[in-house]
């Protein structure tokens, strides 16, 4: 039975800049650690020599003067996304340079499969309509205990290197997001993305 429609990953970047005001040659040092989120894009969207067409990634950017904004990568239609951080930082710079926020309604596609929206976690929730929300937390019940059918069309919310802030936690509790964990160690977010992807792959290999 083909039970999985799409896998969505939502990364909350508490300090990641929502504008193109960062230096490509010092991405980590000048972007409020947007590099942490860029690595999550690679982990969620790309496998060896391919793009996961059933994956979608939302980066919630809460840092800098243009915040809050969300960048969405859709594996189904993304082009020119490569695994190296330089490529990802260039893509993000171009998308975040996009026009006047007054022009933005919903998600606006700026590059193939890469879109930007105004707003924070609620902009993501509106776009995800119908997905089952899970929140990744250290110490939560193991994802391995979750039956495959419950992971169909799932959205996985994750913190960045700062973890979770109270407002996000509250909003995710309001929508009934179920806490799940990936083991006993507090990991980097990109590694959590990889482990969740692997759990899904083991239940159902991705479509070709
Ligand atoms: C580097 S960790 C956050 C560490 C941060 N210093 C804290 O105390 O919250 C980044 C994110 O990855 C996820 N995460 C890390 N380890 C995890 C685990 N073992 N199980 C589930 N989620 C995990 C959580 O969403 C976390 O917010």
| Ligand 1 center–CA 100 separation, angstroms | 34
Separation of alpha carbons 126 and 86, rounded Å = 31
Separation of alpha carbons 166 and 85, rounded Å = 30
Structural tokens at position 89: 């930082």
| Ligand 1 center–CA 43 separation, angstroms | 16
CATH class of 7-203: alpha beta
Going by C-beta distance under 8 Å and a sequence separation of 6 or more, which residues neighbour residue 180?
Answer: 134, 135, 136, 137, 140, 141, 142, 143, 146
pTM: 0.95
| Ligand 1 center–CA 136 separation, angstroms | 7
Separation of alpha carbons 190 and 113, rounded Å = 20
Q: Choose the residue to mutate in 33, 181, 187 for probing ligand 1, maximizing ligand atoms within 8 Å of C-beta.
A: 187
Q: What local confidence, expressed as pLDDT, does residue 207 receive?
A: 64
Count the residues in the chain. 208
Separation of alpha carbons 39 and 74, rounded Å = 15
Q: Choose the residue to mutate in 177, 192, 195, 196 for probing ligand 1, maximizing ligand atoms within 8 Å of C-beta.
A: 192
Which of helix, strand or coil describes residue 123?
helix
Helix (H) or strand (E) holding 28: helix 27-30
| Ligand 1 center–CA 178 separation, angstroms | 15
Within 6 A (CB) of ligand 1 lie 136-138, 158-159, 161, 163-164, 181-183, 185-189, 192
Q: Choose the residue to mutate in 16, 60, 159, 193 for probing ligand 1, maximizing ligand atoms within 8 Å of C-beta.
A: 159
Q: What is the pLDDT along the chain (208 residues), one digit of tens a residue?
A: 334 468 999 999 999 999 999 999 999 999 999 999 999 999 999 999 899 999 999 999 999 999 999 999 999 999 988 899 999 999 999 999 998 888 788 999 999 999 999 999 999 999 998 899 999 999 999 999 999 889 988 999 999 999 998 999 999 999 999 999 999 999 999 999 999 999 999 988 766 6
Q: Which of 53, 89, 71, 87 is nearest to 10 (CA)?
A: 71
| Ligand 1 center–CA 114 separation, angstroms | 26
Q: What local confidence, expressed as pLDDT, does residue 104 receive?
A: 84
């Amino acid at each position: 039975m083909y039970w999985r429609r799409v896998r969505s990953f939502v990364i909350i970047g508490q300090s990641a800049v929502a504008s193109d005001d960062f230096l490509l040659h010092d991405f980590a040092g000048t972007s409020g650690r947007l590099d942490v989120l860029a690595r999550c894009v690679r982990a969620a969207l790309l496998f060896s020599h391919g793009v996961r067409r059933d994956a979608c990634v939302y980066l919630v950017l809460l840092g800098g003067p243009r915040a809050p904004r969300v960048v969405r990568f859709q594996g189904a239609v993304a082009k020119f996304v490569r695994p190296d951080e330089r490529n990802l930082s260039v893509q993000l710079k171009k998308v975040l340079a996009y026009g006047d926020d007054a022009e933005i309604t919903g998600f606006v596609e700026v590059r193939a499969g890469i879109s930007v929206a105004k707003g924070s976690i609620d902009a993501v929730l509106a776009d995800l309509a119908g997905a089952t929300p899970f929140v990744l937390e250290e110490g939560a019940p193991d994802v391995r205990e979750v039956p495959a059918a419950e992971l169909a069309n799932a959205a996985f919310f994750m913190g960045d290197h700062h973890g979770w802030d109270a407002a996000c936690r509250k909003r995710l509790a309001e929508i009934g997001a179920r806490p799940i964990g990936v083991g006993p160690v507090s990991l980097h977010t990109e590694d959590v993305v990889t482990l969740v992807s692997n759990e899904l792959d083991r239940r159902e290999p991705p479509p070709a």
